[in-house]
Chains A and B, each alone.
Chain A
């Protein structure tokens, strides 16, 4: 690109006033900003959360991306129809579904087994976006721990139990966000 190219927008930097040239007023300005933050911190306005001592305040738990859950429908059955859209959408390939013919008349397939490797998951939320029946959702449980790798591979029962544990606190997003069941 040549210097006289018409696409170049030449911006003139503003001239320094006397205050800027004398440096000291700018110095006082910087120092007062620092002092303001120092005073704020000393009055307890830090943004840090001392985590094990106090629980963090999640901005909106409904859209937080934590541990997965498998939702149940009104009859307590798993909502999943084993369409594999979540497993296809998953960039980390952590979802493993075995779909078999459904015993119920309202759908063709259901998951015989549905496992998520929580260690492999990157919590991007693509599975939740992809699901056509809002069966898989991410909850606001952020402190997921385990003592072994096997323990962190969640199967269908575990994922349904996460739903049972969180359904009162976090109602299904589809209804909350104006969607259909």
Chain B
């Protein structure tokens, strides 16, 4: 590897790290203000430029929050396992940040800086051409579970531990629907490379949300659960577990946990956009090929970021629209609803893909036809699951006593 290529990667890393961390900070502000707006409040709007009375809509709030977290006393309880206690936030943040190495944040940048050894055009992903990008994301998101479990275990506190246990059960359960959602896309695109998946959608013009609605629903639900966002935020539901696995953390360590959680959400938004919403592609705006002008390249970056922004807005809106699931409902949703639906989607996508090649379907109507077939299967599967009602587990007292074993002493 030449020095120029190394510098190119370093520049991309710095840009991405800076961008993502700043975005996370400002998304925290946006989340707080959205929460306030949904609840008919105003939200944090007072922090502006220090020492002046200029408020600029509270845009100074993330900075103030960061300073507050850094200045706070970093208290380590006496009963914790020190090494693991320190290790946990580092593990979770590193895992959350490393994922961005394989996530493209644009298409390509067709500029020739005239430096020898620099790839041309510059691909807007830290590790371009990674054939196993999807596997890398899966592996790293599994490592994030270790951070959670380490934190909960090392805290030596029953609420932390319960939060960590719930989190591990939840993340492992939803890894399967997440994988099945991705697998449908991988089968359709024929590659595990995220850039290839985007360009498959761009060349056909059919985003995978249109081609595989069921896969998209399964993936989005699983992504919400993996990011531990409401309605799946059981690992840290305040009403039951104080703060969940980070109850015993304070100061900068708590900040690392919170930032990692937000990064999970941003990662999930990126993946939803890349896998199902066409990545940087938009009809009639960005083109589809590899050869682009500078304007189109910038447009692609903007389209991708815009979509990610909209998905994150959806994340934040859903937080205030749905109540939290009970834990047994959460598990039932993963194993009894999402897993079968994901399998149905995968099988139907695979069969339709085979039919396309077997029957040489390449007329203009073949794509809409196959997609309509997939929508039909999706609707059918959804209705079957709706009538099976796997989420309903009624253990309340009943009137017809002869149907149940009731202790006569009660």
Name A's B-contacting residues (CB within 8 A). 2-4, 10, 16, 18, 21-24, 27, 30-31, 33-35, 37-38, 40-42, 45-48, 50
Instruction: Give the 5 A-B residue pairs with the shortest CB-CB distance, closest first.
Output: A41-B37, A21-B386, A30-B321, A34-B321, A48-B42
Cβ-defined partner of A38 (8 Å) among B34, B382, B383, B399:
B34
Whole-angstrom CA separation of A47 from B401 in the bound complex: 50
* Count of CB-CB pairs between chains A and B under 8 Å: 60
Q: Point out the residues of chain B lying under 8 angstroms from A30, CB to CB.
A: 321-322
Does the CB pair A18–B386 fall under 8 Å?
yes
Partner of B37, one of A22, A37, A50: A37
Chain A neighbourhood of B42, CB < 8 A: 46, 48, 50
In angstroms, Cα B40 to Cα A33, docked, is: 12
Residues in A whose Cβ lies below 8 Å from that of B406: 3
Q: A2-B410, A10-B399 are in contact. Are A38 and B38 (CB under 8 A)?
A: yes
A38-B317, A46-B42 known; A21 vs B387 contact (CB < 8 Å): yes
15 inter-chain pairs at a CB distance below 8 angstroms, sorted by A residue, are A4-B401, A16-B389, A18-B386, A22-B383, A34-B321, A38-B38, A38-B317, A40-B40, A41-B38, A41-B40, A46-B40, A47-B40, A48-B36, A48-B40, A48-B42
| Structural contact, B39 and A37, CB atoms closer than 8 A | yes
Contact B389 A21 (CB under 8 A): yes
Interface size on B, residues (CB 8 A): 23
Pick the residue among A2, A27, A37, A41 that contacts B322 (CB under 8 A).
Answer: A27
Cβ of A3 and Cβ of B321 under 8 Å apart? no
A46 near B41: Cβ-Cβ < 8 Å: yes
Asked whether A37 and B38 contact (CB < 8 A) given A3-B399, A3-B410, A27-B321, the answer is yes
Say yes or no: is B320 at the interface (Cβ < 8 Å to chain A): yes
Most chain B CB within 10 A, of A35, A45, A48, is at A48
Contact status A41-B36, CB under 8 Å: yes
- A21–B317 Cα distance when bound, in Å, is 22
Whole-angstrom distance from the CB of A95 to the nearest CB of chain B?
Answer: 38
Contacts of B36 in A (CB 8 A): 41, 46, 48
Known: A10-B399, A21-B387, A50-B42. 17 other contacts (CB 8 A): A3-B397, A3-B410, A21-B389, A23-B386, A27-B321, A31-B317, A31-B318, A34-B320, A37-B40, A38-B317, A40-B40, A41-B38, A41-B40, A41-B41, A42-B37, A46-B41, A46-B42
